[in-house]
Structure 1
Amino acid sequence: MAKVVTMGEIMLRLSTPGNQKYIQATQFDINYGGGEANVAVSLANYGHDAEFVTKVPENPIGACAVAALRKYGVETKHIAKGGDRLGIYFLETGASMRPSNVTYDRANSSIATASISDFDFDEIFEGADWFHFTGITPAVSDAAAELTEAACKAAKAHGVTVSCDLNFRKKLWTSEKAQKVMSNLMQYVDVCIGNEEDADKVLGFKPENTDVTSGELNLAGYESIFKQMVAKFGFKYVISSLRVSKSASDNGWSACIYSSEDDEFYHSREYRIRPIVDRVGGGDSFAGGTICGFVDGKNFKDALEFGVAASALKHTIPGDFNLVTREEVETLAGGDGSGRVQR
């Protein structure tokens, strides 16, 4: 199995029970999660050697976050200890036409104040096959952006394939700042993952005649900007999830990919997901599933189909982590989405 390293922030997630609004809630459900941590859990769950790198406070809450990763087989030996706090995010889960709402409380978290000296990247990337980060980590702080670039440089020095999920978060930084920082980081990236908003806000590429809120997807527009992104940054693959939000409880879900090596564009099967149990972490489960397909040795089309199926299933599971098995993903990708009871 492959060794995949991910690096970012793991947070304490406090979500309202059911579909309650914040003002109704008298208690919160506790989970742990975060973009790159979610990817690591997916890959460990599929049997790969997944390692997550971060910094957490040396207190019981930091220990709980690490334990949540260890529970699902993620390697945590290079997690640094220190700093003042673990980041928190609050989640109010929407329903029907009411969207979900995320509120961050992550300023000055341990990873936001971490320094390059906290990590031995040569040791971390020894024997690694793949490194994954997201646009969330550089957005957390300037120090985290510097840390991300140092990790990318070390990964490339070790011959490691690098992927990035662009993941624009408007509550963390502006599009102008994102484009400045992320355009620089793209020089290290082999596989670029995102959606139409990410490509626009983070890199300045917008597919024409596409409106996901109305269900209008112009695949030719995606192919065009994918080729432009390859021309500018030299990516091997550009990948986009395609979410058609009919409501907070009802989404269409598919993805597309462009292989620069094959000069070929491919659109996956589309899934209708309703009702959605929890869509947070859906993009991370897509990235984790697609990476799994690649490191398994699948061709780019089959890797994409595995990722889309994995993510469709994640929408049925509460919490950030995707806990479906490889067999469940392969069953869905193979065409069985009946949901019949297994006896």
Structure 2
Amino acid sequence: MKVVTLGEIMIRLQPYDHLRFVQTDTLQYTYGGGEANVAVSLANYGADVAFVTKLPAHAIGQAGVNALRRYGVDTSKITRGGDRVGIYFNEKGASQRGSVCIYDRAHSAMADATVADFDFDAIFEGVDWFHFTGITPALGPNVVEICLAACKAAKAHGVKISCDLNYRGKLWTREQAREAMSKLCEYVDVCISNEEDAKDVFGIEAEATDIYAGEINREGYKSVAKQLADKFHFEKVAITLRES
């Protein structure tokens, strides 16, 4: 199976161990991103997978390309250009203290990209599966259009499409997410979600469940999956359920 994922790969800066930002003067420098991580995982399982994004042609952008290549991800479809690589600072949680993520990704190469940067007909030639997440269109209206163009091209080539809703409140509002994802999900075959994302993006709730109070009704998730499938005619819906 040949797979394509589309998204932004960013520099991840994180204190060592479980230190907080104010407790350290050293940050670990790695690369990561939702769809890039999926590409690496699939490559580790032996899949033929390509990652599509836009990265600057300078050394920091090339380091991001190399970070993917080392795991066997095909980087030949990556567009080069723009001035900066997106950054996110991550403070790893410990015990009852949750993790903290601070984005510095405005005007990154991918955030400022346009549909003209990608030849999706060529990208999806001979491809079996396309995957993206709700994080990528959250970068801006131009990236919504990129995702929409990718979905249309994938469908034209008979490619199956999966999407992880993955709502990020730091990047856009629920209203913006609902408008964009409603358009994109018309092309999606397999929807991946959790109870919180289904509510945040589409207002779909599990019965007898309060996600903020930790009151879980497992049977209610069948209702969430059915509501999502009925709304968008997905072939399959994967609902993830996390426990403390």
TM-score (norm 1): 0.70
Q: Distance in 2 between matches of 1:147 and 1:204?
A: 25
Task: Look up the match of 1:81.
Answer: 80
- Deviation, 1:217, is 2.5
Q: Distance in 1 between matches of 2:135 and 2:106?
A: 13
Q: Distance in 2 between matches of 1:168 and 1:183?
A: 13
Q: Secondary structure at the match of 2:64?
A: helix
Task: Look up the match of 1:109.
Answer: 108
Deviations 1:84-143 (A, max 9, x none): 100000000111110000000000110111111111111110111100000000001111
Q: Distance in 2 between matches of 1:168 and 1:215?
A: 19
The one-letter code sitting in structure 2 at the alignment partner of 1:127 is: G
Q: Secondary structure at the match of 1:132?
A: strand
Kindly tell me the number of residue pairs found equivalent between the two proteins. 244
Q: Distance in 1 between matches of 2:214 and 2:168?
A: 22
- Is 1:6 aligned to residue 5 of structure 2? yes
Across the aligned residues of Structure 1 and Structure 2, the Cα RMSD in angstroms comes to: 1.1
Deviations 1:32-88 (A, max 9, x none): 010000000011110010000000011111000000000000000010011110000
Q: Distance in 1 between matches of 2:40 and 2:96?
A: 31
Q: Secondary structure at the match of 1:186?
A: helix
Q: Is the 8 A contact 1:44 1:73 kept in 2?
A: yes
The one-letter code sitting in structure 2 at the alignment partner of 1:64 is: A
Task: Look up the match of 1:293.
Answer: none
Q: Distance in 2 between matches of 1:57 and 1:205?
A: 39
Q: Secondary structure at the match of 2:162?
A: strand
Deviations 1:271-320 (A, max 9, x none): xxxxxxxxxxxxxxxxxxxxxxxxxxxxxxxxxxxxxxxxxxxxxxxxxx
Task: Look up the match of 2:66.
Answer: 67
Q: Is the 8 A contact 1:214 1:244 kept in 2?
A: no
CA pair 231-187 structure 1, distance change in 2 beyond 3 A:
same
- Is 1:160 aligned to residue 162 of structure 2? no
Q: Distance in 2 between matches of 1:16 and 1:40?
A: 25
Q: Distance in 1 between matches of 2:50 and 2:123?
A: 9
Q: Distance in 1 between matches of 2:120 and 2:232?
A: 24
Q: Is the 8 A contact 1:213 1:244 kept in 2?
A: no
How does 1:197-236 map onto structure 2 within 5 Å? Answer: 197-211=196-210, 216-236=215-235
Structure 1 runs not aligned, ≥5 long: 246-343
Q: Is the 8 A contact 1:13 1:30 kept in 2?
A: yes
Deviations 1:233-292 (A, max 9, x none): 0001111111123xxxxxxxxxxxxxxxxxxxxxxxxxxxxxxxxxxxxxxxxxxxxxxx
Structure 2 runs not aligned, ≥5 long: none
Task: Look up the match of 1:119.
Answer: 118
Q: Secondary structure at the match of 1:146?
A: helix
- Deviation, 1:213, is 6.5
The one-letter code sitting in structure 1 at the alignment partner of 2:52 is: V
The one-letter code sitting in structure 1 at the alignment partner of 2:235 is: K
Runs of 4 or more, structure 1, over 3 Å off, are 211-216
Task: Look up the match of 1:21.
Answer: 20
The one-letter code sitting in structure 1 at the alignment partner of 2:16 is: P
How does 1:135-284 map onto structure 2 within 5 Å? Answer: 135-211=134-210, 216-245=215-244
The one-letter code sitting in structure 2 at the alignment partner of 1:94 is: G
Q: Is the 8 A contact 1:90 1:103 kept in 2?
A: yes
